[in-house]
Amino acid sequence: MVINELQAGLIAAGVAAVVGIFAVNKWQEGRHRRMAEKIFSSEHPDVLLDETGEADSSTEEMPIRTVPHPVPASFAVPGIPAAEPPGQKGEPEQISPEDAPVEAIQEPPLALLDERVDCIIRLECPEPVAASLFWPAQQDALPRLSRVLLWFGLNEKKGDWDLLSSHSTGRYRRLCVALQLVDRRGPVSEPEVQSFLTGLGALADRFQALVDVPPKLDMVPRAQELDQFCAQVDVQIGINVVSRDSSGFPGTKLRGLAEAAGLSLKGDGAFHVQDELGRTLYTLSNQDGQPFAAESMKALTTVGVTLSLDVPRVPDGPGVFNRMFLVGQQLAQALNGSVVDDNGAPLDERSVALIRSKLSEFQQAMAQRGIVAGSTIALRLFS
């Protein structure tokens, strides 16, 4: 078929139109692609990707807390994971608003503990742990430790620490344990410290907890130094009221006089005078060592009794001693007895003044150390 010039022109125009449309489409496609690349370029990094294009694992493991005292490598305890110090990755720690009030009171319950007497260690669990589960677990982990241990859990609703016991029912993410370093049995020993730390390691493993170990594990030297001081002031002062003849003191009369003077017979077989806080100020006991018992007082006769006060456990020792000495004089007068010292020598004014002076000296030394006689810390140390 012969194609005239008109037909050829129409064909050429059609081809040109198709090519033009295709070109316009390609140009628009390229324009949109360049715009998209600009919007999603590397200048706006993906918050879920690091520089290598891999997922950032920090979004999967959020920091639990800040440990104020990170554990130096030389003091790391085997089996106890140490928390990572804050700022490890060069970024400030992020604290959510709801956690802020709890962070402000995360310190141990120092109103109940004392860093001079206790080794205080904190634990933090990734999830709250029921006290009913934790209590038997810590008993299993520390079966051979006979020292005083106090456990606390941070009650995040109340914003305060709960003293834990076998009857506790709460759930706690933050826990605190205090090992008392000294009592009247002496200081903690190296094996006891190792048993304590090993037990904490077992608890940490069981509950996947972080443990805040103090930067210096100097518990044994601290305990030994404190025990030496305690031994210097651990004194009891006693006066004796003894019968002047062989008839002795009848139990019924003795009991009546003791109760009239404000003493009450307790389960340890001695009469006690207590203050309004329930602290024993001084006691009256049988000089021959036989305990007093309510059911046998009628048939009892004794040749002497001893009035004594425990110097570290009594507030205002000189004042308490004056009251005790006055009661001794009253008993001696009513029972036909004499007030004597442990050697049987009568107590005159000079002897009484010397006792009062030494008592004040002991209690002043305690106060200078920050351990006030009769205070909570003193009652714990001298028990």
| Domain layout of the chain by residue ranges | 77-83+103-226, 234-381
Q: Would 77-83+103-226 and 234-381 be classified into the same CATH topology? A: yes
Which CATH architecture describes the domain 77-83+103-226? 2-Layer Sandwich (3.30)
Contact 112, 235 (CB under 8 A): no
Q: What is the Cα–Cα distance from 176 to 180, expressed in whole angstroms?
A: 13
Identity at 291, one-letter amino acid code:
P
| Cα-based distances in Å from 175 to 94, 108, 128, 135, 207 | 22, 9, 10, 11, 12
Q: What is the Cα–Cα distance from 299 to 252, expressed in whole angstroms?
A: 8
Given pLDDT bands bounded at 50, 70 and 90, which one contains residue 303?
very high
Assign domain 234-381 one CATH number from 3.30.1400.10, 3.40.50.720, 3.40.50.920, 3.60.15.10: 3.30.1400.10
Rounded percentage of the chain residues whose pLDDT exceeds 70:
71
Q: What is the Cα–Cα distance from 381 to 383, expressed in whole angstroms?
A: 6
Of 286, 319, 313, 281, residue with least CA distance to 300: 286
Contact 113, 120 (CB under 8 A): yes
Average pLDDT over every residue of 209-220: 78
Tell me the per-residue pLDDT of 317-369, one tens digit each, with 9 for 90 and over: 999 999 999 999 999 999 999 999 989 999 999 999 999 999 999 999 999 99
Helices 349-368 & 219-233, crossing angle to 10 degrees? 160
Instruction: Indicate whether this model's pTM tops 0.95.
Output: no
SS3 at position 247: coil
Q: Which residue has the tokens 């009171």?
A: 105
Q: Which two tokens stand for residue 291?
A: 């305990």
Tell me the per-residue pLDDT of 20-72, one tens digit each, with 9 for 90 and over: 555 545 555 554 444 434 433 434 343 333 444 444 443 333 222 222 323 22
Tell me the per-residue pLDDT of 144-165, one tens digit each, with 9 for 90 and over: 788 889 999 999 898 889 999 9
Average pLDDT of the residues of the chain: 79
